[in-house]
Structure 1
Amino acid sequence: MMMSPGKIGKLELKNRLIYAPMGSHIDNLGPRSYAYFMERARGGASMVMIPIFIKEYLEMSAPSLTITDENYELSKKLVKDIQACGCKACFQIVPGYGRIMPGSIKYPGLPVAPSEIPAMYDPSVTCHALTIEEIGDLKKGYRETVEQLVDLNADAIEIHSYGGYLMDQFLSEVFNHRTDEYGGTLENRFRLLRELIEITKEVCGNDYPLIVKYTPCHYIDMPGYRRIEEGVELSKLLEKSGVDLLHVDAGSFENHYVAMPPTYQQEQVFQLRSSEIIKRHVLIPVATDGKLGDLDKGEHALLDCKTDFLVVGRGLLADPYLPNKLSENRPDDIVPCIGCNECISQVTAGKHIVCTVNPEAGKETEMLLKKAINPKKVLVIGGGPGGMSAALDAKRAGHHIELWEKSNRLGGMINAAGRPSFKLEVNELAQWYRRQIIKNQINVKYYKEATVENILKYGADAVIVATGSQSKKFPIKGIDGDNVVTAIDAMMDRATLGENLVMVGAGLVGCETALHLTPRGKKIIMIEMADKLLPEPIFYMNEIMLTQMVTRNQNIQVMVGTKLLEVTDHSVIVEVEGAQKEIPCETVVLAMGMKSEPNFMEELQGKVPVYCIGDCREPRHIIEALHEAREVVNSLA
């Protein structure tokens, strides 16, 4: 059903897959933005949503996408070229950030909001409450922006009113404390959004497709946050106001992992739960987002009448050609999004959008795979994500490839990373790589241990080393005992574990390993030398959800500020708050970080061109391995 046509008012769409209006920070609708949006249109989405801010408004000294004299002609070309692909061009108009103005944006004034409320990222700052005159300026800027979009021949407009941003703040009791016509009752809190809808109708006509993205339920059990009952009433008001499509989202910035579900949230519950309820109360179609690029989940959501359209962001960032591959009956070729949220993390930090599994995302002009002018004989050492990606890129570029893997299985660290039931997308990525290696007929040598001698004997024109990393061990008494295993071995079931474990290290690997083991009946005490769980920085949405998963697990006890001193046959000795303590256990699991495997760089220097990618250069994340693979292969062209 994903590929069946649908309608928004009188606008016909060729399928049910819409590219979400993800913020990108690439450039202000310049050449790179053009390439970015065009790639999604060529890939087969039925509609591409382009987020822009309203013209010349209070927040517009902050960097954002706006239509200007400088980018007007290219914006017009973008609309025309999107339409030439059989795709529709929709612009999402964002009235403002409000209290959630990102800390990464250097904004000279106070954040604005419906009322004088604390700013999200710095509660010591009180937001400026918009005056009636300033609301008038907002509406004027909105009208001018709509008029621009009519001139561009845009197919549809979406009003951004969701998830704790400025318009949702007006709609929400918890943020809107006004006593004038814009506060109090739901109808009054809805007034500004209704006025923006009316402006759109005045400028574009009643038949013009109008979409509103909003949040029927915040899923925060605190006074003032929206519950689904009020969300139903809000949906009826939107329908009555002439909206043609309800774009349902969920959550707010206080629980933003609800709106942007990370890999840990395997079941798509929040947005679909809301949209299913809303569909019972309105006659107009409903669109839903939130991890619906997954083919089975998305298809069932449509078949079960929980939604009418799937608004996919990260899935089409990972593979813009997902719709075309579905149409061509090639689902096994679709690159899976792994839900790592690296894309959103970068944008939140004020940087341009990226994608772990798609090096071209946001860099469509710079990172496009270069075809080999003079094909080379390339040896890739290591069959982890970096090595597999390098081998695939090099083969597709036209080089002659051989891949050496010292074990009997490709995948490397993503085999362990994708092992937990809450990280199935990572496992899907490993499977995707293995399928593509076979499909592209890449010559793989298993059980092949690389040495300087056999590397040189092979006679490659270039060697790409992707040998990965291994678990760290520190010089601690008893750490080499039979009752001590690494987190990787525990994750891969390569070690015999007792029932009572001590996990040394409460970083990302330690937390994920503990959560993987507790459903198997293990009781775990996690000790962490730092003063907090997850001491190494990870994206805040992922951190909030992972922290909740660990701290709410009754079979996991966390001890921070705790240093491992010694491992005995039946316990560990630790130092906590200046005193020594013995913790009984049957097995000690080490999650103390990673160190690079040998990379042959020094030994091969001057004898053959050699390139090091991924963790063997420095232990990091999958994104560095995959992007470095592309960079190296392009340098060989």
Structure 2
Amino acid sequence: MEMLQKVLTPIRVGEVVLSNRMVMGAMHTRLETLDRPNERLAAFYAVRAKGEVGLILSGGFSPNPEGVMEEGGPLFNSPSQLEEHRVVTRAVHEANGKIILQILHAGRYAKVPECVAPSPGKARINTFSPREMSVEDIERTVSDFVRTAALAIEAGYDGVEIMGSEGYLLNEFTAERTNHRVDGYGGDCEGRIKFPLEVIRAVRECIGKRAILIYRISSIDLVEGGATGNEVAEFASKVEAAGADVINTGIGWHESAVPTIAATVPRAVWREAIRNVKSAVSIPVMASNRINTPQIAEELIASGVADLVSMARPLLADPDFAKKTRLGITDEINTCIACNQACLDRIFTERTATCLVNPRAGREIEFPDGRSTEPKRIAVVGGGPAGMSFAINAAERGHEITLYEADPELGGQLNLAKAVPGKAEFHEMLRYFRTRIDRLGVNVQLGVRASAEQIAAAAFDEVVVATGVRPRIPDLAGADHPKAVSYIDVLTRKVQIGQRVAIIGAGGIGFDVAEYLLGESRESLEATEFFRAWGVDPTNVKAGGLTALSEHTKAKRKVWMFQRKNEPLGKRLGKSTGWILKAKLRTAGVAMIPGAVYEAIDDSGLHYSVEGEKHLLEVDHVVLCAGQNSNRDLFERLTELGLSPLIIGGADVASELDALRAIEQATRLAVSL
């Protein structure tokens, strides 16, 4: 058992003692848009309180209509809303937890026509142009923050967090980029921080000393015209003087061209920006962004970078994160892999958030707890994400599971994903699956290609087929030529790939293969490489913490990507991560050709045409990333033998190696038996 001391040590925050240093960070979930929203939110937070996290920060609630994230977004400005919030706070307190309400005014990021900002100027991520706030608007907004804070305390929250980071309204006032005012709320640093400080003082006076007051500061803006490190430190000291009990550190603006929380960002890479805030104050400072293991949290606290650690998505992935840390079973933590597929990508496309590795997240009321009253003997064939997820969830319900996997190791095509630069976190996903399967006593048969006859003879109560997919071979002359290779051959290094490579297919797999072919990258693992690649000055000497981009390392290969659809390549990649990958490939000189008609592969290379014009691309290899077909052979043979097998994952639906769908489908099936 691994015992971590610093992260488990209680800490006094104002007049409140927290049981440990782990905090569930605020995140948008959109659960309020579903049926039974109060029940869902209460269950969502209560499960994490039972998981022993020291403090929970709610999603952001606007203090007035012009500050909401979107039409119908979270707003808390009326006593008529008290009871719906009390449902949440009661559930958390009954689970021995503490919860803070975040007050967030979106400013020029608010996707509503009436949005406001310190100065005119539309954000590139919004279609609406903001109205410049008058002094009267500012004074009214201070009162609105106070009203929401008072309502929060009346509703039972243990305090409030004032959101002053990520490019929202208060952050817009602190930066020259968005604050061009010539009155007392603009100009030099002192003028630009006046409004946020007025909000803090007024809220502190309203809620008194017994409630916790947190201010989320932008520790590094990562945009042109942002604050310098010295300005951030000066502001932090005044935030403390204004009455904050804790400073939480935010990273970057939503319109920044630098990734901040995706898997391509190294773990805890923003430590120097956080340390800068810590050095300026005597109150506790909270670290955030790309902290997904208790070991990293421990190191940040032990090294003096921070006093508390905020982890939002890691508590989506595993609500028992803190409890498992206390029990010393950190190898059983279901680690956030920073994929963003089910959380941020869904939020940015107006859907509710959940988690790829934990489909229960946000759907807690849809999944029964406890063991089955009728345990069964179940065969699972296929040890990829669907098969492993089913095995774990069914075994937790008390079923006796035998898992057959033809390969010598579990993981299926997750073993391909972990080979791609920027996807090292898939090692953590595999570690969790394999650890839980072992601890639950699942009978794993590796290197066994189970036949239908063998399964039928064993007389299992249920048979679950999770045999995955096969690469689809396009109907193309020369698809069997030695120059034509599958993405599996590339990612498993079964073939020695040449220096000039064409990729047929520009879905997620095609982009992953392109990045893999460009050569080994340490960008997602080493801070210096990440900062160099994205033009970041971690000391934040210059405004916004940006510096000139360094010359990129020469790509290992010349790569061309093709797709049949006549639209920009990568259009369907993840909303929050696709732009990162496309930017990296463009920088590396990858050519992207839409509207291609593939004609042949031969000794000369790839023959294709665009708008009727024929071309020959002389390449060493053509990588086929043209989709997948379900591997249903076993399912069909079992059916022929008179069995009624269940089928999940890629074997059921072949679609871009969709681990999100496969894991959710497997989990729901397991708890339904």
Scaled by the length of structure 2, the TM-score of the pair is 0.87
Residue aligning to 1:265: 265
- Answering whether residue 110 of structure 2 is matched by residue 97 of structure 1, we say no
Residue aligning to 1:88: 98
Q: Distance in 2 between matches of 1:159 and 1:200?
A: 9
Residue aligning to 1:587: 621
- Within the candidate set 645, 654, 657, 1:610 is matched to 645
- Answering whether residue 560 of structure 2 is matched by residue 550 of structure 1, we say no
Q: Which moved more, 1:332-341 or 1:182-191?
A: 182-191
Unaligned runs of 5+ in 2: 1-5, 521-554
Q: Distance in 2 between matches of 1:475 and 1:281?
A: 64
> Alignment partner of 2:76: what SS?
coil
Q: Distance in 2 between matches of 1:368 and 1:184?
A: 57
TM-superposed CA distance for 1:77, in Å, is 5.2
Q: Distance in 2 between matches of 1:460 and 1:332?
A: 31
Q: Distance in 1 between matches of 2:365 and 2:456?
A: 35
What is the correspondence of 1:88-487 to structure 2 with a 5 Å cutoff? 88-94=98-104, 96-102=105-111, 107=112, 109-123=113-127, 125-206=128-209, 208-220=211-223, 222=224, 224-255=225-256, 258-259=259-260, 261-269=261-269, 271-341=270-340, 342-369=342-369, 371-487=371-487
**Contact 2:59/2:102 (<8 A) preserved:** yes
**Contact 1:384/1:414 (<8 A) preserved:** yes
TM-superposed CA distance for 1:229, in Å, is 3.4
**Contact 1:526/1:557 (<8 A) preserved:** yes
Q: Distance in 1 between matches of 2:66 and 2:591?
A: 48
- Within the candidate set 35, 53, 56, 1:45 is matched to 53
Identity %: 25
Which residue identity does 1:139 align to in structure 2?
A: V
**Contact 1:286/1:307 (<8 A) preserved:** yes
Residue aligning to 2:605: 571
Which residue identity does 2:292 align to in structure 1?
A: G
Change beyond 3 A, Cα 1:578–1:502: same
Which residue identity does 1:154 align to in structure 2?
A: Y
TM-superposed CA distance for 1:363, in Å, is 0.7
TM-superposed CA distance for 1:274, in Å, is 0.9
> Alignment partner of 2:406: what SS?
coil
Which residue identity does 1:196 align to in structure 2?
A: V
- Within the candidate set 519, 523, 526, 2:557 is matched to 523
Which residue identity does 2:74 align to in structure 1?
A: S
TM-superposed CA distance for 1:579, in Å, is 2.9
- Answering whether residue 12 of structure 2 is matched by residue 7 of structure 1, we say yes
Which residue identity does 2:102 align to in structure 1?
A: Q
> Alignment partner of 2:573: what SS?
coil
Q: Distance in 2 between matches of 1:398 and 1:170?
A: 56
What is the correspondence of 1:503-542 to structure 2 with a 5 Å cutoff? 503-519=503-519, 522-529=556-563, 530-531=565-566, 534-542=569-577
Q: Deviations over 1:283-335 (max 9, x none)?
A: 32211111112233322222222222110001111001111111111011111
Q: Distance in 1 between matches of 2:123 and 2:591?
A: 34
Q: Which moved more, 1:49-58 or 1:350-359?
A: 49-58
CA RMSD across the alignment: 2.5
Q: Distance in 2 between matches of 1:159 and 1:197?
A: 8
> Alignment partner of 1:252: what SS?
coil
Q: Distance in 1 between matches of 2:560 and 2:419?
A: 20
Change beyond 3 A, Cα 1:387–1:507: same
TM-superposed CA distance for 1:504, in Å, is 2.4
**Contact 2:502/2:562 (<8 A) preserved:** no
Larger relative contact order (CA 8 Å, sep ≥ 6)? 2
- Answering whether residue 635 of structure 2 is matched by residue 634 of structure 1, we say no
**Contact 2:109/2:126 (<8 A) preserved:** no
Would you say how many aligned residue pairs link Structure 1 and Structure 2?
A: 624
TM-superposed CA distance for 1:57, in Å, is 3.6
**Contact 1:30/1:71 (<8 A) preserved:** no
Change beyond 3 A, Cα 1:633–1:400: same
Residue aligning to 2:490: 490
Change beyond 3 A, Cα 1:481–1:370: farther
Change beyond 3 A, Cα 1:327–1:206: closer
TM-superposed CA distance for 1:385, in Å, is 0.6
TM-superposed CA distance for 1:369, in Å, is 4.5
Q: Distance in 1 between matches of 2:592 and 2:323?
A: 47
**Contact 1:466/1:599 (<8 A) preserved:** no
Q: Which moved more, 1:128-137 or 1:289-298?
A: 128-137
Q: Distance in 2 between matches of 1:81 and 1:410?
A: 39
Which residue identity does 2:164 align to in structure 1?
A: S
Change beyond 3 A, Cα 1:119–1:218: closer
Q: Distance in 2 between matches of 1:67 and 1:380?
A: 52
Q: Deviations over 1:492-512 (max 9, x none)?
A: 222232333222233322222
Residue aligning to 1:21: 26
> Alignment partner of 2:181: what SS?
coil
> Alignment partner of 2:425: what SS?
helix
Question: Which 4+ runs in 1 deviate beyond 6 A?
Answer: none
Scaled by the length of structure 1, the TM-score of the pair is 0.91
